[in-house]
Structure formats: C-alpha cells, structure tokens
Amino acid sequence: MGIRQNHIDRAWQLEEFTPAHFTTLVSTTLRAGPESSIVSQFNSLGIPGINLDTNGDSVRLLKKLTNVDTTQRIYFRVNWTSDSTTSAHSVVWTMTYKIISPDQDVISFSSPTAMTPATVTDTVGSTTAYKIRRTNALYIPADSVNRTDHVALEFEATTLTGLTNCYLLNVEMLYYPRPAIGISRPSPAMALPSDWTVAS
C-alpha cells in the first residue's frame, strides 16, 4: 500500500501562479500585474503579495489547459498572509472560471461558473502576523472544460472579517497530466496527495 501511495502522489502535477501572472481587479479598476501599486513587498523578507484589502477585490488569469487531463477534476487553492494578529480574523475566497474557446468566444468574464464548492473560508489562525495561510481546495469538475479552450480564472477575496490587509502570495493548481496516446486514467480518480484537502 505504501508503494501505491507513492505512485498516487507522483501522478499529480502542481503548477503555481505568482503575482506576476495576474491582473488585479480592485474597486472595478483593472490594474496590470506587478507594476500595480497594490503589489508590494509587505515585510522584511521582500516577497511580493497582492493586497486584496477590500471586499470583492480579485485577481484574474487566462490559462490554456493543453497538458491537463480535463476528464479529471482540476483543483485550486490560495496561499495568503496578513498583518493581523487576531486568529479569528478571516477571509472568504470565491473561485470562478469562464471558458473562452478560440475562434468562437469573445474575451469576456461575464457569467462565470463557480468552482465546487463555491467558496472557502480561511482564518488567520495565529496571533503572529505574516504566517502563510493555505486554503482548502476548490475544483473545476471533471469534463467541464476542453484542453483546447482557454479558461479565465478569478480568485476573489469576497468577504474580509477584521482584516485590514490580505496579501495573496500565489495560487496552486493541482491536476492530472494529459495521458499519452493509448494510456487511460483510472476511474474513479486516484486519491489526492496527503497535503491537499477539499473544502466542504
């Protein structure tokens, strides 16, 4: 069983999106990536984060899923931090996506689809500022997108409770790679890696 678990973990692929990958929507004003004043080095370590400090602030990304096995779920989670020293302070994250087919669809984010489940709540969880927080995962259901499509992704800090600053550090995407010709994936999908938990 231990050998099989190692095989399961190696089957998954992880991709990371940093502040440099995103455009940022703040108070309905779209700002470009790292040049925006809201992307800042927030402590002595010098790592940049996107400060989503108002309810509804969000980041967006246009992604091609060429190497993703879209017959399986595609998982996402947010890594973030805050200057808050109150463990109960929290943020509700909403993650949505919009399929944009080449040569067919206008580039737009109108009427996006919510991931499953629609939101995930995460607390500061510490009385020490600037600890890295990691949300539970939301996902795009299996067979919801095609690898030939572009997918616009949005990660929104929907509700801030007690937080003055909420810095998005990065977003992680966990997926199965597209199988080689003649190779099929098991059904149902293999178990998630041990450090990933789906939001309820």
In the prediction, which pLDDT does 179 show?
Answer: 77
Mean pLDDT, rounded, of the chain: 84
**pLDDT tens digit string along 153-167?**
999 999 999 999 999
Structure-token match 């109150």, residue found = 86
pLDDT band at 4 (very low <50, low <70, confident <90, very high): very low
Of 191 and 78, the structure prediction assigns the larger pLDDT to 78
Structure-token match 């919801």, residue found = 144
Q: What is the DSSP string of the chain?
A: -HHHHHHHHHH-EEEEE-GGG-EEEETTEEEETTTSTTEEE-STT--EEEE--STTEEEEEEEE-TTB-TTS-EEEEEEEE-S---TT-EEEEEEEEEEE-TTTS-S--SSPEEEEEEEEEEE--SSSTT--EEPPBEEEPTTSS-TTSEEEEEEEEEEEES-S--EEEEEEEEEPBPPPTT----SSPPPPPTT--B--
Domain regions of the chain by residue span: 2-175
Q: State yes or no: pLDDT of 186 exceeds 80.
A: no
CATH pick for 2-175 out of 2.60.120.260, 3.20.20.240, 3.20.20.140, 3.30.1330.10: 2.60.120.260
**pLDDT tens digit string along 70-91?**
989 999 999 999 999 999 999 9
In the prediction, which pLDDT does 48 show?
Answer: 84
In the prediction, which pLDDT does 159 show?
Answer: 97
Q: State yes or no: pLDDT of 143 exceeds 80.
A: yes
Q: State yes or no: pLDDT of 126 exceeds 80.
A: yes
pLDDT band at 187 (very low <50, low <70, confident <90, very high): low
Of 29 and 150, the structure prediction assigns the larger pLDDT to 150
Most confident of 11-15, 123-127, 186-190: 123-127
**pLDDT tens digit string along 7-57?**
344 489 999 999 888 876 655 555 544 444 467 777 777 788 898 988 999
